[in-house]
Structure 1
């Protein structure tokens, strides 16, 4: 006042009723020595400011408690960050101070492959659209994570627009999405493999059939017999490959039983040890009270064999293999991280090796048919594909954990059941002769397979009536129904299925027996590869001996077991 002749500032005034009133006061001295004093009540402004301060505190507390990074930054890949919340240290590994001090280079933390994603989002925000990008970020410790970055332009000068945004860690979501995509891809490849296997089985039926007949006709010519035997060996290798494709595509015929996994592992122990070189140590640990599983025993043995052989091949310089079994209860926490898994009780089979390990890219392809990291001539690339298919067809799941230089673990989860373990019954001995005199209605849309089958059965004394389609079969059955003893039909044909044809004909001719044949299983006669009770099934490719044996076996069964 004395120096400038005026004063302005806040002043608290006490009202006569005792309340405190915030004011602003302006005092000015006049030339004549007088004073002008103006006081303004600022209660509303102070209340509004206090409310804003409280709101800001609450907002900041909220922002700093959510599992996301909030930030304010200039628009542009080299824009300065003005604010970043403390969560950046948890998510990216950098303190807020570290990040802000070098924020103009933040794009350097994004892998170069994702830079186009950032640039596209920046261009969209420059047009007034929200900034939205899903990209990867390299943390301070080198780990790469996936984030969702969403922001809007809120203020700033024309030359430096400012964005406010949130960054959320979506690594887990991306992992689940990749699992689902992988599952869909495997389904698609499986359908393709199943279709190829179906066509190959028809061809192999013809090849193996004529091989067997040719060998029987040249018993007195050893050199020719030996040459044909080589052809048979090649055909058998092709059959093995096709069966592995069927296993992967989950189209195998399964004969599930209630099994004790521990017993299977123990029974295979000596056989597996004979596969090991001297510099490989194999140990087996089976937990007590492991629950029962329902699966095809031969297929489960195949799973164990393939996994152990794969582990052995990963130990070129020696090492250790560990086979373990235990009960496992997979809860919702586990299934959240494994999208295709259903929660529930399982039995775990784990095979671990201390071998060379695999890269993430190799792990992503490891179950695909014909994918192999082995040198040419070592393996077909179908071993793990077979494992995958068997496990999935048995209602289970398989996961692989691997690290380069440290080794690999395969974990197989098979549903645990409460039923008692079944004791395998002795198989009924086959009929000593496969000849007959009955009449067979043969329905097969593949001409070469039909011709071969007719030839073989006729040579064994059967009367064969051939039909190309189900419609032909119904017509021929109408003419010869009383004389037909067996319907031998393919499962899938143009028009109606073999199952539907069998239902129609057995409805008219109750004494008719039925034998289905196919390159792989279909849900018309099987559920998830498990044949329905009482079904007689002939798996392609078959040899003349197997064909006549199965025909004789079906004809000798009670009529009540025809379907």
Structure 2
């Protein structure tokens, strides 16, 4: 640093350029040497700092210039890239959906030049229907909420034509998370969509062709079998007619012709039932069944059917869960499988029937068709016969497919088994190896009830007749069927009224209070079917018994393959003894005392209350838990006249139980029992069909509560 003021002209210039006259120091030339040196030092320090800062600013400015240049270069490349994309419409929207930029692909796909669309709302790309429904706004809201919106749909070009578009919208935010706008990508996928539609049409046409081929095979098989059966029936009826014209009457020939005609008719009825079973349209009447006991009860029947050449072995597991199936149809299925096994062992062999509890997990269920994971009872029927090839196994459950000789089988046995099990919610699995035999496993869903009940098919060896000449109303539109039905009823000793339509049947009900039972077809003309007729009839006569008949399981009384609760059905064709037994059962039941369901878990209390109810003239059904009560109401439905329920049954609250019971029986009267007089669930407090009895109570208290309900 220069120590002399005179030797630093730049500072001299600076100092001398200022007017110092007003300062106490005076002009610089008059300052003391030390002061001048100090001022110079300060000024030089300031100058050095200024020069350093200037250098820093220059370097920083150069860096900024370089970054700006690089950013411009990148933006230029990105702009060229965006402009070069012609297969995608790439553009930006502001937060309100206004288009802010536009690429070449957008112009090619949508038809707008940038000058025509920038500053306009993007909703113009949507159809009028989508705009009216608020689709564009919802798309932006979804993108904001979920971080992305993606969809396919029709979009509109500038010229008004539409195309199928794949659209993706992403929100753009700054470093603080504030929404800046949206990036939108649109792709024209019209050709792909057309290709998919064409493929779908082709698949549908193929499926329709396969369906028609299947229907053709089914129709041909039905026609073949029914023509054979009709030949037997018609031929023997003609023989009967010729025999009746001869003198003297050949009773032996007449009886033989009648027997042959009846066998043909029975085979035709069996064929029809098998067809219904395969199509899952037969009306099942499921009941709680112990499969082990049912199999044990069939042992004698199986031995007589299969003959001495087939050894039968049963391996029945203990502690078998109950299942809810139609016991008659299960017996038919077992018999079908056993007969198939016998035919596969022409030289004799061994038939093994096994039962066990099983669990089908989710992994197994996913690999099968129409299988729900859960607990099942498995019934396995195995033979030591010739087995099946892979080709035969693949078609084994098809209707009318058989490897037997002509006249040796209809090909409906396995298809009937398959249809019945599937209709019951179960699963069928076939295992076979040529030369080593076959195993068919039936998986039947476990009945989740606490009581193991076996309901065996009733064995009736007599034909019950009318005891008191009860009056029965027959409603049937087919004149021949009506004549057949009324003829049987009169022969059984019943008084009969008949009607061809539901309206005529209702008129007879109004005018004849002595009618005890109505026997009606489900399908009736005139706008009112049999179920609707029954509902009207019971609104007039709540105590009226109704027996339905039909040749086909219709939705009026069958839902999900099962008879509605409380429905009694006699399927066509029916015999003299079939109708007689059904009527006898229903009318005997009608004369029995009303049935009361008692829900009580305490054993001692259960016994005491059951005796009180019996003394009041009722039959008693006991349930120790909510689950058991639900199961009994599901099975007995309208047969239960009243329920007595502990306010807190095991398994769930009394109000929850009542809600489930009411779903099965909408007007079920209920007596709640509780030690607390104020414990009646609030939601049922105003229900006229619910009464609370406080514990402990007497038979008189119970009678009073029941009388109140019966008067409600």
Separation (CA, whole Å) in 2 of partners of 1:401 and 1:308:
15
TM-superposed CA distance for 1:372, in Å, is 0.9
Are residues 398 and 275 of structure 1, via their aligned partners in 2, closer, same or farther at CA, if it must alter by over 3 Å? same
- For residue 457 of structure 1, the aligned residue among 478, 489, 500 is 489
TM-superposed CA distance for 1:415, in Å, is 0.8
Which position in structure 2 is the counterpart of 1:539? 571
TM-superposed CA distance for 1:408, in Å, is 2.6
Greater relative CO (CA pairs within 8 A, separation 6+): 1
User: 2:397 matched to 1:351?
Assistant: no
- For residue 273 of structure 2, the aligned residue among 228, 243, 246 is 243
Separation (CA, whole Å) in 2 of partners of 1:443 and 1:556:
22
Separation (CA, whole Å) in 2 of partners of 1:451 and 1:255:
28
Separation (CA, whole Å) in 1 of partners of 2:324 and 2:273:
21
Separation (CA, whole Å) in 1 of partners of 2:560 and 2:261:
34
User: 2:521 matched to 1:500?
Assistant: no
For 2:531, what is the secondary structure of its paired residue? helix
CA contact (8 A) 1:434 1:549 kept: no
Are residues 394 and 476 of structure 1, via their aligned partners in 2, closer, same or farther at CA, if it must alter by over 3 Å? same
Which position in structure 2 is the counterpart of 1:327? 357
- For residue 487 of structure 1, the aligned residue among 496, 514, 518 is 518
For 1:391, what is the secondary structure of its paired residue? helix
TM-superposed CA distance for 1:270, in Å, is 5.6
TM-superposed CA distance for 1:515, in Å, is 1.9
Are residues 446 and 436 of structure 1, via their aligned partners in 2, closer, same or farther at CA, if it must alter by over 3 Å? farther
CA contact (8 A) 1:518 1:538 kept: yes
TM-superposed CA distance for 1:348, in Å, is 1.6
TM-superposed CA distance for 1:505, in Å, is 1.9
- For residue 557 of structure 2, the aligned residue among 522, 525, 528 is 525
Separation (CA, whole Å) in 1 of partners of 2:277 and 2:495:
35
TM-superposed CA distance for 1:496, in Å, is 2.3
TM-superposed CA distance for 1:314, in Å, is 1.9
TM-superposed CA distance for 1:504, in Å, is 0.8
- For residue 558 of structure 1, the aligned residue among 590, 595, 599 is 590
Separation (CA, whole Å) in 1 of partners of 2:280 and 2:436:
32
Which position in structure 1 is the counterpart of 2:26? none
Separation (CA, whole Å) in 2 of partners of 1:294 and 1:447:
38
Separation (CA, whole Å) in 2 of partners of 1:308 and 1:427:
22
Deviations 1:385-421 (A, max 9, x none): 2211221222211121334344332221111234332
Map of 1:360-399 to 2, 5 A cutoff?
360-399=390-429
Deviations 1:485-531 (A, max 9, x none): 43221012232221111111221233433221112433433444544
CA contact (8 A) 2:464 2:581 kept: no
CA contact (8 A) 1:436 1:460 kept: no
TM-superposed CA distance for 1:318, in Å, is 5.0
Separation (CA, whole Å) in 2 of partners of 1:546 and 1:382:
24
Which position in structure 1 is the counterpart of 2:652? none
Which position in structure 1 is the counterpart of 2:138? none
- For residue 407 of structure 1, the aligned residue among 428, 432, 437 is 437
Are residues 234 and 505 of structure 1, via their aligned partners in 2, closer, same or farther at CA, if it must alter by over 3 Å? same
- For residue 297 of structure 1, the aligned residue among 327, 338, 342 is 327
For 1:367, what is the secondary structure of its paired residue? coil
TM-superposed CA distance for 1:328, in Å, is 1.8
CA contact (8 A) 1:435 1:548 kept: no
Separation (CA, whole Å) in 2 of partners of 1:250 and 1:558:
32
Deviations 1:269-298 (A, max 9, x none): 465456557776654433443322222333
More strand by share: 1
Which position in structure 2 is the counterpart of 1:136? none
Separation (CA, whole Å) in 1 of partners of 2:509 and 2:408:
52
Which position in structure 2 is the counterpart of 1:340? 370
Separation (CA, whole Å) in 2 of partners of 1:278 and 1:464:
49
Separation (CA, whole Å) in 1 of partners of 2:443 and 2:345:
25
CA contact (8 A) 2:463 2:580 kept: no
Separation (CA, whole Å) in 1 of partners of 2:360 and 2:477:
47
Separation (CA, whole Å) in 1 of partners of 2:418 and 2:391:
18
User: 2:314 matched to 1:265?
Assistant: no
Are residues 362 and 449 of structure 1, via their aligned partners in 2, closer, same or farther at CA, if it must alter by over 3 Å? same
Segments of structure 2 that go 5 or more residues without pairing to the other structure are 1-202, 595-637, 641-712
Separation (CA, whole Å) in 2 of partners of 1:274 and 1:553:
30
Separation (CA, whole Å) in 1 of partners of 2:353 and 2:340:
13
Separation (CA, whole Å) in 1 of partners of 2:469 and 2:272:
34
CA contact (8 A) 1:512 1:562 kept: no
- For residue 444 of structure 1, the aligned residue among 472, 476, 499 is 476
More helix by share: 2
TM-superposed CA distance for 1:548, in Å, is 4.4
Separation (CA, whole Å) in 1 of partners of 2:377 and 2:268:
33
Which position in structure 2 is the counterpart of 1:230? 260
Separation (CA, whole Å) in 2 of partners of 1:510 and 1:293:
32
Which position in structure 1 is the counterpart of 2:108? none
Residue correspondences, number = 368
Which position in structure 1 is the counterpart of 2:185? none
Separation (CA, whole Å) in 2 of partners of 1:461 and 1:308:
41
Normalized against structure 2, the TM-score is what? 0.45
Deviations 1:460-483 (A, max 9, x none): 5545433222233334445x2445
Separation (CA, whole Å) in 1 of partners of 2:489 and 2:462:
17
